[in-house]
């Protein structure tokens, strides 16, 4: 089985690239983030024409997540149990489904903006809700993974220059502690398994020179239980998908499993 995750930074303008990538990479399951549209507006038909079922969850604006699968979509859940709101509103940041016997969640963790911003506190509360979900999912003996844009770099080596991030989100101790709590609960980071690059960054700001000079971050992650990680045969960041005209600012992660 091939499982992948990709923050597409708006599904509508990125759709031709996504469809081409699905055809050539042929994942069995693809988790998507930052759709920037509603559930109803997700372009289901072009994706379905390639043989995929779709479970989308979007409320418009700047979030939205989806799972597309060639191996079935069962027990779909939209939103985290007990997740917090921001400014009194829910945001579409998580969708879960069972695909070919593998339980996956596509997540788009809040950015946090700045440590003093209310959105940062919301981010930590949201990660706490994710921790609660993980505890529930781990009670079932089946392959399980949380994939997506975590908006946290787990380690200093996961950013191009840690000094450039002084005082910024994505690298603060509370954010990293939230990731550590997920690992302590029973999940493992599928990386570090870099097969092509010493530091497999997944995000590069659009500003000129950041991508070709590899000034990036590793904030898109695959956290999985031991059944899932024990079946990993290959895992890589597809940098090619970040190239060319009109790309997302994120690259996909691809994980090949032995089942």
87 noted as active-site residue? no
Cite the annotated binding site by residue number.
7, 34, 149, 151, 249-250
Catalytic site residue from 28, 149, 158, 220: 149
Q: What ranges in the chain are assigned the alpha helix state H?
A: 11-25, 44-48, 118-137, 173-185, 226-229
Cite the annotated binding site for Mg(2+) by residue number.
7, 34, 149, 151, 249-250
CA neighbor of 124 nearest in space, from 107, 111, 106: 111
Whether the Cβ atoms of residue 106 and residue 95 lie closer than 8 Å to each other: yes
149 noted as active-site residue? yes
Catalytic site residue from 52, 108, 120, 122: 108
Catalytic site residue from 52, 57, 223, 250: 250
119 noted as active-site residue? no
Could you check whether the bond before residue 107 is cis, i.e. omega within 30 degrees of 0? no
Long-range Cβ contact pairs of 12-20 (< 8 A, separation 24 or more): 12/36, 12/37, 12/41, 12/43, 13/246, 14/246, 14/247, 14/248, 15/43, 15/46, 17/241, 17/244, 17/246, 17/247, 17/248, 18/47, 19/46, 19/47, 19/50
Give catalytic residues, as residue numbers: 108, 149, 250
């Amino acid at each position: 089985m091939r499982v992948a995750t990709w923050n597409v930074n708006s599904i509508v303008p990125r759709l031709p690239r996504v469809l081409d990538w699905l055809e050539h990479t042929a994942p069995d399951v693809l988790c998507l983030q930052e759709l920037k549209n509603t559930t109803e507006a997700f372009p289901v038909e072009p994706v379905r024409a390639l043989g995929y079922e779709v479970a989308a969850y979007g409320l418009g604006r700047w979030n939205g997540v989806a799972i597309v699968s060639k191996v079935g979509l069962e027990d779909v859940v939209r939103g985290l149990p007990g997740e917090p709101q921001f400014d009194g509103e829910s945001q579409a940041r998580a969708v879960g489904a069972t695909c070919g016997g593998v339980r996956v969640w596509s997540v788009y963790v809040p950015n946090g903006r700045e440590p003093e911003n209310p959105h940062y506190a919301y981010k930590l509360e949201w990660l706490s809700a994710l921790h609660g979900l993980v505890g529930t999912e781990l009670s079932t003996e089946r392959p399980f993974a949380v994939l997506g844009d975590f908006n946290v770099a787990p380690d200093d080596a996961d950013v191009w220059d840690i000094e450039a991030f002084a005082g910024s989100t994505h690298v603060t101790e509370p954010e990293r502690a939230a990731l550590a709590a997920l690992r302590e609960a029973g999940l493992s980071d599928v990386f570090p398994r870099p097969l092509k690059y010493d530091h497999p960054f997944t995000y590069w700001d659009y500003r000129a020179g950041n991508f070709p000079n590899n000034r990036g971050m590793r904030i898109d992650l695959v956290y999985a239980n031991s059944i899932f990680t024990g079946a990993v045969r290959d895992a890589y960041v597809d940098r090619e998908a970040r190239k060319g005209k009109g790309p997302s600012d994120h690259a996909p992660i691809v994980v090949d499993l032995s089942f």
